[in-house]
Chains A and B, each alone.
Chain A
């Protein structure tokens, strides 16, 4: 199957700092990528849809100024958690579509201390 890679897999940052998470489609191009968030022992919740060359579409209740998304190329989308707080600690997962099927990255565990 297609490969979607996230980096980093784990990150610890201090409160108030910003953290960038990358999502790459390694063997296909993706005009659209998707960012999910997963709290411990919970399900995945879609945060936003990342569109190459245009603004991201955010789900209701997700702060666009808090979670900055940039989709600068057909193989890379980035999610930046700005001014991180402990409540932003979570597992962030991206996905990309190819052939109508969604492929997920391995996730990024963010811990804000």
Chain B
């Protein structure tokens, strides 16, 4: 089975530009999570979806960040406009949840550098 697939693996762009990160969850998983990982703050949950519906976006740092899940096999995380402090590794994860006792499966992340 294919795991969680993220693209691009690396993104380098100048501040002020729009950045779009993409994620394909594991087929059949009904929960999707976006995380950000930095040296200073570790792994932070940004937002998660259940059946394509955003459930909790309290971790989204600012209005510059937005996430969508138009269907069960695709999600995007967008930053507009981007700033240098957004530089981090962004992970997408999915899980099969009939309850909360299921592990999340992570993609290999997008390393984002904002110059």
Q: Are A and B associated in one complex?
A: no
